[in-house]
């Protein structure tokens, strides 16, 4: 199916909608939807779209899209009213009194946040998207209405200015098409992708569409021959089946051509002939047993490519999709890409959670054996619950949206727990993603993992079919380096949340130590502040509480010296400051080497206990410790307020990184000898680099 960027689709009239509704709804329900149409038409009276047509034609078209999915009365009323709160003076309360609370909640969930002012368009979009996804947790029909709304908008995008077209198309490809895919709504996903691609790259789309039409015309006889051969063999085996040709879509072809060859070390992209050298067929049968019988038949006709076989019937895709996939060698020089499924599987594959009436969702969850698309909806409910957890740990809407985009990554790997439970994870997921998929506490306290009973690194990428076991310890906690290889949105969100909490706690403790050091000349400390002194600091520095002020000092966002200067006798504050004395001199800040993530040791000079050291307060990073002889210290002296007098604690225990340079003869086994010597000293090698020299001794 190819989508040309031509004139907009024909207008949908109220009579067209009613004719369609009468095919599956009762007369009373149709009248209620018609009443919603009149209410919406009156509210939008005088408003026009960018195309110049009356605005009401947009809600009508959205409702018609949903009616073709056979959606329920409340969803269709919400579709007709979906822009009421956002674009008119009608309130949510008014909608609730007219059409009920559920319809009002659906409309509110789809509406953007217009009452809050944001600094950028991106922040506004992210906040509105976050609001919509939270509403999805209460009622999945919110996103169904939004997808239909976006589908009609992308069909009529030609009336928008070019900049808006590109913005909407890009947002559709990044967010709404993946959501449709995640919900199993394949037909909606394909049209969103194709129209968005045609909007962003009209020339590329047109060239690809023309080439595909030519290719199909040339290969008609070949496709017919392959199809006839399979049909004849199935008839001989008494298997009823419907074989249809699958069309490749331009967006998918474009993305496949952009993918670099995995098997070739040369950095090349795939050519058009490589991604189209395939005859794609779909075989629809009556039962699951017939699916596997057909698989055996086609494998006897043509030789299969073993690594391309996928059994999504035994192990469903994360969106509930089921089919057998296999790729075969044909005698015509083409590969044959075959999908085998039942009609019920096909309905779910195309329509996802809308394959059957969405209003029966709760009933089906209670009686799963009565629902053919129970798995799709159960997985959707689990996904929405996961999104809610991510939202609770995200610091802002932009971070939440970033994590959701990661979670919408389409490919998955399937791995097993030691108890045999299957977990779906994003492609490229590592052992740490597996740990967080089991439970947050398992991820936070993970210390090691086993894959197929062999110990592996936490950064090891998982492969489908592996059995993964996680080892934990009560003392363990997330490491910032995990963010370098964690892939799943859940894992990344919880690691970030933990580190932010840990960073805040460390910042408060470090800030208190730094402020106490600067308060020492005034015979003061944080613990000795009276209520009047506390109140003055909070008012002066515009913070809500003392911990917030200490955290800002610890993070380097405020200078402890400036805060302490508020108590200098010369300062014009109403608080009686203690007098400076010669005896109360400022003492250096004592460094233990284990303060946490906000006391860092500079890589340029690698300070270790015994070195003379200085501290530099770095914005957002806390205190960076350098040796006094470091070449960077002279630069830091230009900001003396950020320099900090520090010294080592007398009793230290722990490990510190140092750089060691060794000049050795280049001979066999020398590196092993050095590593053994270092290990015998109970030390460990973090990193090794070597360079050769022409020097000969």
CA–CA gap between residue 25 and residue 71 (Å, rounded):
10
Nearest in space to 376 (alpha carbons), one of 185, 149, 189: 185
d(CA 508, CA 546): 9
CB 188 within 8 A of CB 180: yes
Cβ atoms of residues 136 and 144 within 8 Å: no
Q: Do 563 and 518 meet the contact criterion of CB atoms below 8 Å apart?
A: yes
Which tokens go with 476? 């363990």
Handedness of CA 505, 511, 513, 519 (dihedral sign): negative
Q: For residue 86, indicate whether it is catalytic.
A: yes
Is 311 known to be catalytic?
Answer: no
CB within 8 Å of 173: residues ≥ 6 apart: 192, 193, 196, 197, 200
What residues contact 406, with CB distance under 8 A and at least 6 apart? 426, 487, 488, 489, 492
| Reduced DSSP (H G I as helix, E B as strand, rest coil) percent helix, strand, coil of the chain, to 5 | 50, 10, 35
Rounded-to-integer distance, Cα 383 and Cα 408, Å:
10
The answer to whether the beta carbons of residues 179 and 143 sit under 8 Å apart is yes
Q: Cβ(288)–Cβ(340) under 8 Å?
A: no
Sole residue written with tokens 């949903």: 66
578: nearest Cα among 586, 588, 566, 590: 566
Q: Could you identify the residue written with the tokens 């006897």? A: 300
- Which residue, among 383, 494, 491, has the nearest Cα to 428 in the 3D structure? 491
Which residues are CB-contacts of 433 (< 8 A; sequence separation ≥ 6)? Answer: 425, 426, 462, 486, 487, 488, 490, 491
Out of 16, 86, 98, 611, which one is annotated catalytic? 86
Tokens standing for 683?
């030390």
Q: Which member of 16, 53, 87, 505 is catalytic?
A: 87
Using CB atoms within 10 Å of the CB of residue 137, give its burial: 0 to 12 exposed, 13 to 18 middle, 19+ buried. middle
By DSSP bridging, strand 589-591 and strand 643-648 are parallel
Tokens standing for residue 401: 């949206």
What's the alpha-carbon Rg for the chain, to the nearest Å? 32
Report the Cα 12 to chain-centroid distance in Å. Answer: 36
Q: 568-575: long-range contacts (C-beta < 8 A, 24 or more apart)?
A: 568/522, 573/536, 574/536, 575/532, 575/533, 575/536
For residue 192, the tally of other CB atoms under 10 A from its CB is 27
Q: For residues 85 and 111, is the Cβ–Cβ distance under 8 A?
A: yes
Distance CA(568)–CA(588), nearest Å, equals 19
Catalytic residue positions? 86-87
């Amino acid at each position: 199916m190819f989508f040309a960027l031509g004139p907009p689709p024909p207008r949908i009239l109220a009579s067209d909608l009613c004719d369609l509704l009468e095919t599956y709804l009762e007369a009373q329900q149709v009248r209620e939807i018609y009443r919603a149409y009149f209410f919406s038409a009156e509210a939008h009276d005088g408003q026009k779209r960018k195309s110049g047509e009356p605005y009401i034609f947009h809600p009508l078209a959205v409702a018609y899209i949903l009616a073709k999915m056979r959606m329920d009365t409340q969803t269709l009323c919400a579709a007709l009213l979906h822009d009421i709160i956002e674009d008119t003076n009608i309130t949510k309360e008014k909608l609730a009194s007219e059409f009920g609370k559920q319809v009002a909640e659906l409309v509110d969930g789809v509406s953007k946040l217009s009452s809050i002012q944001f600094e950028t368009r991106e922040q506004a979009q992210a906040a509105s998207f976050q609001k919509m996804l939270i509403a999805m947790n209460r009622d999945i029909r919110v996103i169904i209405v939004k997808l239909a709304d976006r589908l009609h908008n992308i069909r009529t995008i030609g009336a928008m200015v070019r900049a808006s077209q590109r913005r909407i198309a890009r947002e559709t490809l990044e967010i709404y098409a993946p959501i449709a895919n995640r919900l199993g709504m394949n037909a909606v996903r394909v049209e969103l992708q194709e129209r968005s691609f045609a909007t962003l790259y009209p020339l590329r789309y047109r060239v690809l569409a023309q080439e595909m039409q030519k290719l199909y015309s040339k290969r008609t006889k070949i496709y017919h021959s392959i199809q006839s051969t399979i049909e004849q063999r199935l008839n001989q085996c008494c298997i009823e089946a419907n074989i249809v040709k699958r069309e490749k879509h331009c967006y998918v072809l474009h993305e496949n051509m952009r993918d670099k060859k995995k098997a070739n070390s040369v950095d090349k992209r795939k050519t058009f002939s490589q991604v189209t050298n395939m005859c794609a067929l779909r075989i629809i049968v009556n039962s699951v047993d017939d699916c596997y019988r057909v698989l055996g038949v086609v494998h006897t006709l043509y030789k299969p490519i073993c690594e391309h076989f996928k059994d999504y019937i035994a192990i469903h895709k994360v969106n509930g999709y089921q089919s057998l996939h296999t790729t075969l060698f044909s005698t015509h020089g083409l590969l044959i890409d075959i999908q085998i499924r039942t009609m019920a599987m096909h309905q779910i594959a195309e329509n996802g959670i809308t394959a059957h009436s969405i209003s029966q969702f709760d009933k089906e969850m209670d009686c799963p054996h009565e629902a053919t698309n129970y798995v799709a909806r159960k997985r959707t409910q689990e996904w929405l619950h996961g999104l809610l957890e991510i939202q609770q740990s995200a610091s802002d809407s932009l971070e939440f949206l970033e994590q959701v985009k990661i979670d919408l990554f389409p490919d998955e790997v399937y791995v097993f727990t030691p108890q045999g439970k299957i977990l779906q994870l994003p492609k490229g997921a590592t052992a740490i993603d597996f740990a967080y998929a089991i439970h947050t506490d398992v991820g936070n306290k993970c210390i090691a993992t086993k894959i197929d009973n062999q110990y592996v690194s936490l950064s090891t990428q998982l492969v489908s079919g592996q059995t993964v076991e996680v080892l934990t310890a009560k003392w363990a906690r997330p490491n910032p380096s995990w963010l370098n290889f964690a892939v799943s949105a859940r894992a990344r969100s919880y690691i970030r949340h933990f580190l932010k909490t840990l960073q805040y706690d460390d910042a408060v403790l470090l800030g208190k130590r730094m402020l106490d050091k600067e308060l020492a000349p005034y015979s003061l400390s944080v613990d000795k502040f009276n209520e009047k002194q506390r109140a003055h600091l909070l008012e002066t520095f515009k913070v809500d509480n003392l911990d917030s002020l200490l955290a800002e000092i610890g993070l380097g966002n405020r200078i402890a010296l400036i805060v302490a200067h508020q108590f200098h006798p010369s300062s014009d504050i109403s608080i009686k400051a203690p007098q400076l004395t010669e005896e109360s001199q400022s003492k250096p800040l004592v460094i233990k080497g284990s303060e946490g993530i906000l006391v860092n040791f500079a890589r340029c000079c690698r300070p270790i206990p015994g070195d003379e050291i200085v501290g530099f307060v770095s914005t957002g990073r806390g205190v960076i410790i350098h040796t006094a002889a470091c070449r960077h210290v002279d630069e830091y002296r230009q900001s003396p307020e950020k320099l900090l007098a520090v010294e080592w604690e007398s009793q230290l225990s722990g490990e510190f990184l140092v750089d060691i340079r060794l000049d050795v003869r280049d001979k066999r086994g020398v590196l092993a000898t050095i590593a053994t010597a270092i290990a015998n000293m109970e030390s460990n090698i973090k990193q090794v680099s070597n360079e050769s020299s022409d020097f000969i001794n």
